[in-house]
Structure 1
């Protein structure tokens, strides 16, 4: 498979010939995996979740699976059929429907006088644009399915005699560091004639020239510049296959080197005997659209109008239509693609980077047509490769069907989470590409370390080179200092006067790698809410993630351990300054860990358990690298700390939140996070097994079952008397931390509790509150949310990856 993906053009052309030879085997709706999440097209949701407070991004539940490669930028089409969500500019979220970006279908049965043409959107433009088009595809006349990176639109209107299923995806493939980066969206139409008459079918794809649109940090396209945009009809003969035809969207540039907003987009398909591609090179996207709709609705063809001009301020669009006939019982697959080439990423402080895919297509921003060509060439091959990747997980009947779908659908942030993957402009292509995900668009920090502790599990499982590179990036920062002062917002609000802190101290592992509006990778540790230098979880989590990556990639990459070992030791030593004699770093009376609004005093279950696990990881790493002194030191420190941890926190039922009197009855869901990672990596007992099981069951009985009978997941903090801890974060369910707890349950053999806990999350996200493809960090007892499109829910892989302790 890998040889085919990287073969020369001649061999790839032969591959496409083989693919086209199999086209009669079209996709049927029954072939869509049963684990895929589904919803009737355009069906509204009763009582959807809303943002807890003003200022949080809340675009509503009209969402769908994204397309686009890792670090290439993404966009998505909702389950009602509109292209509305745009993450093309790295780190920036835009949500606005572009109505001229749309699919439409024409069908006519042989012998009938009437034909049927319909735009495939359950709705219509509110501003009168494209008024000649037939909008308002019937709500519920078909079904949307999603199993990321794929999704499907199954159209079942009585007006459509031929069955149509649109298969959508980008080539997101495991252990693939080339095609997974491509900026291309594949749309394969699977058409089947189940009638006893010949049916003529045509599928239209219209697209707006959006070059120049992705240059601001705003959440919409207000003030979008269109000056200098122009469209071009493209045609390319592919020997022995047919003619690739489409429209290329470009803009005039100020110089030869592209700015971040410069580039191209393209739409294309392939014409061949019996498959006709027609086109409209340019039309006004703000007009009535008659030049497209009049010919298309008449016979399924466009006018092959090659008129083009350079825009002054008007929005330009172009369209292609693919027309074919189906005999009774015949099936066909028709591929279409949308490709884009915006090679430059420029963050707020001006530094420029080149996206990963430019390693294969160059940095000119003039290669959208070539990318579209490769997308058409490999469409079927990539589809099969995705199916082969997912097949063993989907076939595992030991896991609930809903969970098998959730495993993949919660992977969408890998591409859609403001993802950056690339090299600094001017650097060698041999320089390892830097990578980072946003925590979320509300909290736009790159690589947030306390969060990726949960979120990065699928990265190390499927793209281990990327995850190790991220940890190298963090390791490089540990011995460095950023001396500039920042405002400590939480303490300032508490004290009533400004309180500042040093941005990054030597030995402290940073909270993040920077922000999109700043200078990521160069200006790290950006947050001002808390002073993260003295957080008690970051350094431990860094040590544990390094050891995890070594273990989960076969325990063979000693070079990775050698590179990061100095940072691991420094991270452990830095935390020891907060040890006041018990062998455990003590929390400092403010929210100094990932629960950054929940005050912690003294020895705490969460940070203390992570510390003990990190000591074990450090001890094992020292043994592997032959550092006997460090191994002995960490072993002794672990033994001392373990004794104090149990003595000060264990009450026979659970580990207390911390050693303060007011928290003595507080049950934290995440109290065994260190033990979870120990089970994940084979580090053994952080606390005795009997205590692990007892505490895990207590959490389930209280934080899960006494909180809406398990229908919402696990609340962060519950008291022994069954009341919720009176703190804003303690009152919330955090999806990612709940999943870490569920992973612990699985490893302890408590499968029923694990599935019940996780089903509560599934129920909120996919059944009741409409959080699909915008999974939040948190929701409250009403199901209302905070911080959508969050990174941490990728921790769903904890249930699949954490082995059972025997």
Structure 2
């Protein structure tokens, strides 16, 4: 495949389109130097595509939206659900009366037209397989059930999801049209701004499959939800958060649209903002304000047109308006036409609306509203400005998004592997993450839901914020949008770091508040040691990606201080082994020598040594190498049992929350990192391979019947998956490490990638295929890996499957 010349410096970078699909170090001069749109990817024709049909549609819900904008999910039945665009996490949020429809008839006065809502109730009244109790993507909102009881929907749908693009095909024997939809938000790797637009593009295609002329029409409707808090239930157009809502007709060249706002709220209110519905067609008919379904349907269902009513009267208290656009057309036999609709939103006032109780400490300020803001608020003043930006450059935005899709999906790699990688890229643009007004990128661990019973109600982000030990597993953001990943390193080293060198593992916002240095912040109680080690590794990862010596020089003193803290507090003899308290991602502290934390330490020593070499500190690099050699020998000598690495812990002093002789799935986490960073083997290569295979042999289950998952269940009895820890030779402590009996996809992806790096392809695929089979649309959503919350960050470890393949 030909190299692409760097658009900025005209040199040939060592990155090219398609190198994501082969074992190749991803490096380039700088993110600005790679012009993604110059890519020229050969497209196999046709490529195999996974089509969700029947039962495999039940839990399908692809989140669509930009980085830090919130999302709306396009679901397998054709509906729009999970409206999380109001700066609030609420997985069951529903805005009624927002849908698509088509109409058709022959051009004869006596011809009876056919009109359909592009949504199917085929699965509404049949019970499917039970999902795990932590999953609810299969639930259909009452408003959608009610809609299809009142208006006719299509008989069936088919869904193809190749993130970032969703495609739906609609089937109904009464329709003389072939109808399909392509939906996406612009997604352009290495172009963060254009991947952070608060909008969705819907390309609705109508094709005349008959041998005679057809009159046809495509329509879209949207409720004005300005002022809504994302939580209070909405019944038709009634909600206590509504009032003063108004819609205005907009015509900009070929664009016809409806701009939505409110006259009730001040500009600093949480709910203040705007929405827009638009179509790139000057022929569109419109109804700017309607509030009864039969009003809309009596017009559209009869003629495929709307009456061009342009009322702007604000709604009364407790009510809002809907808007609709319809584009009529005439289709000759065999003719097809695509109508582009855009839904956009603009809610700039993002406030802290999640609990920071453990982070605030003695700050008793529960009534203050702390402003976060949204980055897109600096670029656009309204939803209409968003629409105008998109329509002015829609060909480029669309072409580059489709190119990104094709780069990932046009491959001979196993489909399950590609699915694991691309589906979890969506987390970057899920409500788990946000791009704040200060220009920095932040993320929860996940979104509150059925898997977070510790939350008062299933809304809001779970376990704030930028949790170092969970984000240790994330790789997707670092590769796709490295500029945003670097802001997380700046937060850690320039804002979070304690003068002694350690990092609290959670971020308190706003950043001008005192840092949580003097308090227990939970999950775990004390600052996470694995998170601190991971911050060193992530800094080296970011440096390798950007190659910016100035950036490294700015952060290096803080990185060095972190390692000196570890030597002062955790390894004062510099023996390369950590034996004392080791707070970590399992929400507790473990003790004694182990390779879970131990290999992270060894990897951090190698990474720090490499960075010391770049900053011209050879003495520090030598010291890192010396400590590494000591630690490597100690771990090999004390922990290898002939099959895998165990934990050497004094159970008389630490009887609880350790694993001892168990086979822990995370025992080679640092080796996984070392492969990613090309730092070589940390332990004996043959033993590392044997240990990775032992994890599969001991922890992988073909069925979970008879197994008690605790404290949470993420799989059903007939699923396959990898347990976090087992005791194949006995010796399970009475109170073992928490979550040992659970299955976490992020750990599964890590272990599978480790096996791939060790050239064990078939064992790796066994794990990957089992994981993706659980998220195949029947019981669980392919675009929502769940752990402590929906869209859980740890699942972005899946990216390394691509680099390891």
* Alignment TM class, shorter chain as reference: 0.7 to 0.9
Partner of 1:693: 689
Tell me the CA shift for residue 696 of structure 1.
Answer: 1.0
Secondary structure of the corresponding residue to residue 637 of structure 2: helix
Deviations 1:18-61 (A, max 9, x none): xxxxxxxxxxxx9998565532268675xxxxxxxxxxxxxxx3
Over the residues paired in the alignment, what is the CA RMSD in angstroms? Answer: 3.1
> Does the 8 Å CA contact 2:56/2:777 hold for their aligned counterparts?
no
**Distance (Å, rounded) in 2 between the aligned partners of 1:33 and 1:66:** 26
Query: What is the match of residue 301 of structure 1?
Result: 305
From 127, 134, 137, the equivalent of 2:153 is 137
Q: How is 1:129-528 mapped onto 2 (pairs within 5 angstroms)?
A: 135=151, 137-138=153-154, 141-214=156-229, 224-236=240-252, 238=253, 243-253=254-264, 255=266, 257-272=267-282, 276-284=283-291, 287=292, 289-312=293-316, 313-348=318-353, 349-361=368-380, 365=381, 367-397=382-412, 399-424=413-438, 433-442=439-448, 443-455=462-474, 457-480=475-498, 506-514=500-508, 519=510, 522=513, 528=521
The CA deviation string for residues 304-362 of structure 1, in whole angstroms up to 9 with x for no partner, is 1122311122231111111112111112111110111212222244232442223332x
Report the CA distance shift for 1:404/1:353 in structure 2 as closer, same or farther (over 3 A). same
Residue 759 (structure 1) aligns with: 769
Q: Is the 8 A contact 2:468 2:506 kept in 1?
A: yes
Deviation at 1:769, TM superposition (A): 2.9
* Paired residues for 1:34-73 under 5 Å: 34=47, 37-40=50-53, 45=58, 61=59, 63-73=60-70
- How far apart, CA to CA, are the structure 1 residues paired with 2:803 and 2:530? 22
Q: Quick one: distance in 2 between partners of 1:561 and 1:420?
A: 25
Note if contact 2:445-2:466 (Cα within 8 Å) is conserved in structure 1.
yes
For each residue in 1:38-89, what CA deviation from the matched residue of structure 2 results, as whole angstroms up to 9, or x when unmatched?
32268675xxxxxxxxxxxxxxx3x521222111222223222332212223
Which string of whole-angstrom CA distances, capped at 9 and with x for unpartnered residues, describes residues 724-758 of structure 1? 88655011111112211111111111111111111
Q: Which runs of 5+ in 2 are unaligned?
A: 8-42, 125-140, 354-367, 449-461, 652-657, 706-717
1:578 aligns with 2:597: no
Q: For the structure 1 residues 188 and 44, does the alpha-carbon distance in structure 2 shift closer, same or farther, using more than 3 Å as the test?
A: closer
Q: Closer, same or farther in 2 for the Cα pair 1:648/1:31, shift >3 Å?
A: closer
**Aligned match of 1:122:** 120
Residues 223, 269 of structure 1: alpha-carbon distance in 2 compared, 3 angstrom cutoff: closer
- Whole-Å Cα distance in 2 between the matches of residues 653 and 42 of structure 1? 42
Structure 1 position 142, deviation (Å): 2.4
The answer to whether residue 733 in structure 2 is matched with residue 719 in structure 1 is no
Q: How does 1:600-679 map to 2 (within 5 A)?
A: 600-660=590-650, 663-679=659-675
Q: Secondary structure at the match of 1:38?
A: coil
Report the secondary structure of 2:73's partner residue.
strand
Residue of structure 1 in register with 2:698 after alignment: 702
The SS at the match of 1:121 is: strand
Q: CA deviation at 1:128?
A: 11
Q: TM-score of the superposition, structure 2-length normalised?
A: 0.80
Partners in 1 of 2:520 and 2:526 — Cα distance? 11
In structure 2, relative to structure 1, the CA distance for the partners of 1:765 and 1:520 (3 Å cut) is farther
CA apart distance, 1:691: 1.1
Contact 1:109–1:161 (8 Å) recurs in 2: no
Helix, strand or coil at the partner of 1:202:
strand
Structure 1 residues 557, 659: CA separation in 2 closer, same or farther (over 3 Å shift)?
same
Is the Cα contact below 8 Å between 1:702 and 1:722 reproduced in 2?
no
More displaced, 556-565 or 149-158? 556-565
* C-alpha contact (below 8 Å) 1:541/1:614 kept by paired residues: yes
The worse-fitting range, judged by mean Cα deviation, of 408-417 and 387-396 is 387-396
Paired residue secondary structure (1:459): helix
Partner of 2:129: none
Distance in 2, matches of 1:299 and 1:527, equals 65
* Cα deviation digits, residues 140-163 of structure 1 (max 9, x gap): x22012112210111121112111
Whole-Å Cα distance in 1 between the matches of residues 544 and 792 of structure 2?
27
Give, in whole Å, the separation in 1 of the partners of 2:114 and 2:426. 35
Q: Which runs of 5+ in 1 are unaligned?
A: 5-29, 46-60, 425-432, 482-505, 778-785
Deviation at 1:129, TM superposition (A): 11
TM-score (norm: length of structure 1): 0.80
The answer to whether the Cα contact below 8 Å between 1:101 and 1:206 also exists between their aligned partners in 2 is: yes
Structure scoring higher RCO (CA < 8 A, sep ≥ 6) equals: 2
Contact 2:472 2:531 in 1 (8 A): no
SS at match of 1:106: strand
Q: 1:527 to 1:192 in 2, by over 3 A?
A: farther
1:566-612 residue CA offsets vs partner (Å, 9 max, x unmatched): 121121122221226572453546x7211125x62211220111011
Would you say the 8 A contact 1:552–1:681 is kept in 2?
A: no
The match for 2:25 is none
Residues 524 and 584, structure 2, Cα contact 8 Å, conserved in 1: no
